[in-house]
Amino acid sequence: MQMKLKGDYFDGQWHLPTKAPNETIEKHSPADLSQLLWTAAIWHDHAEATIQSAEKGFATWRKLSFEDRAVFFRKYQEACKKRQDEIATALAWEVGKPLWEAKTEASALASKVDVTLSDSLDRIKTRTIKEVMPKIDGHTVMKPLGPSFVIGPFNFPCHLANGQMLSALLAGNSVIFKPSEKTIYSAQLMMECFAEAGFPKGVVNFINGTGKTAGIITGDPRIKAVFFTGSRAVGKMILKNTHQDLKKLVALELGGKNSTIIHFDASIDHALPELLRSCFLTTGQRCTSTSIIHIHRRIADSFIDQFKKTTERILVDHPVLAKTPPFMGSLIDAQAEKLYFDFCAQGLKEGAQEIIAPKKLDLEWKGHYVSPSIHYLEKADLKGKFVQEEIFGPNCCFLPYDDIDEAINAANCTEYGLAASVFTRDQRIYQQCLSDIDAGLINLNRSTVGATARLPFGGVKDSGNFRPAAVSMIDHCVSTVASLETTDDTSSKLADVVGLRA
């Protein structure tokens, strides 16, 4: 599949200069390395032009009413619906996720418009408190921040950035979107939908680039907000680049080392498919993927045996061309593949036993295909890398426990705090987990993956900086102004001022 890149989008049009680029990126499909999908040319000076465009766009866009902005949102929604299949196919080839899964992401673009308008908008409307003081009304007014920079991830190159962009735009900000350099074309298709919707010039902008491009834009004082989804390491670099700029809001959605607790009273028939999805969907390349499974000793042997047999049934194949739709496609690239095997090897060094060993798969199409893997740690070193560190790959490890306090303490041992789940019929157990586990998402009898856009999405500790996305994303796209208002211009008299000479 050949993908044509259009370059960068600013001042309401695409820009693809003929001069030599500063950097060049080649992208082969991770599902078929013989397929060169695109070659991207990167121009660093486009960063300045894009920022200037966003400044002009903000000056226009901020003056529009919510109702006027919503008109453009509906046009964007229609464009997304028309190109849904095209976007899904691009996602499958570029990311390596199965086409059925890519279709889910592509369909979420249009539906996110409805959620943003129906659930998020109300959070930033002006609030009035009548008679907050005698004869004085109080108001809280939400104002847009200014030109905002959205940096997208590779695993959901459209869906996650889409939610951040829509929230920022509805609040009145202009936006610059830089996709992951691994998934430029999928993001470009989404950007084409914004362009088709006819947003005023400079309101929505798009720039290709690497970390250097992101560094230039995040550090610029004209950028008033930075929204990033990705690794903890890059998130900390962004903080370092922006921390002295008090006029810039930074919202980070980072990784996770997520735990699932399987208590002895859990419904095994229900927990098995839920856990299969949470461990291995998207080839384990989700920030909410379950990595550690705390299993009660009373059911450990039986449950692990059933989970092993179920995992061995997972079909791994080409995301688009396979005769039977696979559960898993490929990893994103060679680096991800190496990290996956290195991580599993680290587990063996720290005493983990292999229940299913990781394997490089030799399929009809030569790509970054690996098998899912399962480990077991009888006595875990809770400070070890294998239990502490995130790995974007299809691996999970069982840790046995005897009482729920032990499981909760182990779940809290990592520096991450994104997602957790507990499978139990005992509401007291669930309430204890809800109270004591350090995570931003804690589910009962449901996997750690597949959050809803109608609730906040974000983590604690090293999984974020207390600015959750999804429905509450819009909260971080505005500044709050307090206003006292009175129409009684006779209530203040000079005679009432204490301390004046006669």
Q: Which of 287, 344, 397, 413 is catalytic?
A: 287
Other C-beta atoms closer than 10 Å to the C-beta of 5 total: 18
Distances (CA, A) of 388 to 127, 351, 421, 469: 44, 14, 18, 24
**CA–CA distance, 312 with 319 (Å, rounded to integer):** 19
In three-state secondary structure terms, 457 is: strand
- Note if 364 is an active site residue: no
Alpha helices in 135-283 (DSSP H): 159-170, 184-196, 211-218, 232-242, 268-280
Closest CA to 58 of 194, 201, 160: 201
**CA–CA distance, 76 with 191 (Å, rounded to integer):** 10
Which residue shows structure tokens 């599949």? Answer: 1
- Note if 101 is an active site residue: no
β-bridge pairing 258-262 and 13-15 = unpaired
Dihedrals φ, ψ of 303, to 5°?
-65, -45
Angle subtended by helix axes 404-411 and 427-436, to nearest 10: 30
Question: What region, left, alpha or beta, does residue 486 occupy, with left being phi > 0 and alpha being psi -120 to 50 degrees?
Answer: beta
Q: Which of 94, 101, 181, 253 is catalytic?
A: 253
Active site residues: 253, 287
